Structure 1
Amino acid sequence: MNETASQNGEEFGFRSGDIVQEWLWDDDVDDSIRAKIENLTGEDLVDEDYDSAVDGAIVWWRDGDDEDELSDTIVDAYSVVGDDGPFWVLTPKPGRPGAASSSTVQSAAKTAGMNAATPLTVSPDWNGIRLRAFGKGR
């Protein structure tokens, strides 16, 4: 069962001043999610070419993309997230174009050495699944 996100983005776990890296952006992403994170942190999101450590990350992923690519992206993205910072995979909700099953994300996360939480509704069209390294919370 999906939980529902707040209006201000606190559910992501990012804090003021955090640098959040965004992976696999495309023109179908929900700009309201991006704005919530930027308003919460007071910082612009940085893209996957950013070459310093970050405080957290979001990965936009759609069904039809290669699951192995998702595992590789999770490994690459998490490698620059410091101190087990918030790490999210965002997928279109069921019934939307590109909707991916949470089991696909969970499988890719497991391959990458991560645990996947229960999906959270983060906007009308997108779900978010928080990932943590094995042994780091639930």
Structure 2
Amino acid sequence: MLVLVTETASQKAEEFGFHPGDIVQEWLWDDDVDDSIRAAIEELTGEDLVDEDYDSAVDGVIIWWRDGDDEDELSDTIVDAVAVLGDDGPLWVLTPKPGRKGAASSTTVQNAAKTAGMNAATPLTVGADWNGIRLRAFGKGR
């Protein structure tokens, strides 16, 4: 079963909606992140992930989010990320799965997204210990 879990978005980074040549910005990195997800995105895009200090436009965003972090901070981070994200670029909030240390409620992510003017999709398994929630601006597809 573990093979099926790791063969989701972490092994098939294209499920994130990123493409070769895309610049993907990573927010709130810490030493608990799943490096296989990061490596899969870098392999697909052929580019290193850039951090939140990167000051040019980007093609996609991942935000690592854990329970215990301030929901208002997540809303602010989403707004900051959208400011540098190109039109219709994928924006993902990655959270530890339920039962894992730092697991965040999807309601927390949904509330923060709504505050930031975004819709949150249903969580998707992106790694053995992480779920991903894609955010879209209100009125933009599913």
Normalized per residue, the structure richer in helix is 2
Equivalent residue number for residue 135 of structure 1: 139
Equivalent residue number for residue 56 of structure 2: 52
1:100 aligned onto 2:104: yes
| 2:118 aligns with one of 114, 120, 124 | 114
Aligned residues: 135
Equivalent residue number for residue 29 of structure 1: 33
Equivalent residue number for residue 94 of structure 2: 90
> What CA distance in whole angstroms lies between the structure 1 residues aligned with 2:75 and 2:12?
29
Per the normalisation by structure 1, the TM-score is 0.96
Percent of aligned pairs with the same residue? 85
Secondary structure at the residue paired with 1:34?
Answer: helix
> What CA distance in whole angstroms lies between the structure 1 residues aligned with 2:138 and 2:83?
14
Equivalent residue number for residue 79 of structure 2: 75
1:12 aligned onto 2:4: no
Instruction: Give the C-alpha shift of residue 8 in structure 1.
Output: 2.1
> What CA distance in whole angstroms lies between the structure 1 residues aligned with 2:72 and 2:87?
25
Secondary structure at the residue paired with 2:44?
Answer: helix
Per the normalisation by structure 2, the TM-score is 0.93
Q: State the superposition RMSD in angstroms.
A: 0.8
